[in-house]
Structure 1
Amino acid sequence: MPVTHFRVQWPDHSQATCYSPSSVVTEYFAAGQDYPLEDFLARARQALGSASERVRAKYGYACSSAMDQLEQIENTAARWSAQPDATVRVLGFGR
């Protein structure tokens, strides 16, 4: 269950590096792909929820860092919630 970081570009072209405790995020996102904001959020919720559950299955407790990362993503995304054409680009993955 390797830690995986994924880099995103927000609608204003700012960038952020996001944390996942599992490489499962690579099953939800593709490097270089643009996602409509709501689709990106839905995928992030699923990916980080799944990553947290993988930690629970292995260690017996959920990953609070994955949930903290999801909260940061949702807080940042809220800036563009009224912008119907907002997209988020996944730039790539790293460890």
Structure 2
Amino acid sequence: MPDILLSRVEPENNCYRFYRISIEPNLFGDHSIMIQWGRIGHLGRVRIASSGERGAINHRAGLIERRKIKKGYVRQDAKENLTLWGDDIIEVDIQP
């Protein structure tokens, strides 16, 4: 499963947020969900949400993604434009 990049942009509320969900192998032979979130243009915070076998972790990542979409986040494609931090640019279309 590739990284899931979500964003929520509401200029009228000064809200420019990103949320990234990735699945990474851990030292115990299982996989972990790594979540990074924060304001667009900043590093944000990182946490490990849960660990386990790959199938269960994929399912859990999907649940997290759906919960964020219900809160107003939009999934971003790789070809769009979003600057998360520094010089690293990921493309995101902010238009609805």
Please identify which structure carries the higher helix content: 1
Bigger CA radius of gyration: 2
If the length of structure 2 is used for normalisation, what is the TM-score? 0.33
Please identify which structure carries the higher strand content: 2
Say which structure, 1 or 2, has more relative contact order (CA 8 Å, 6+ apart).
1
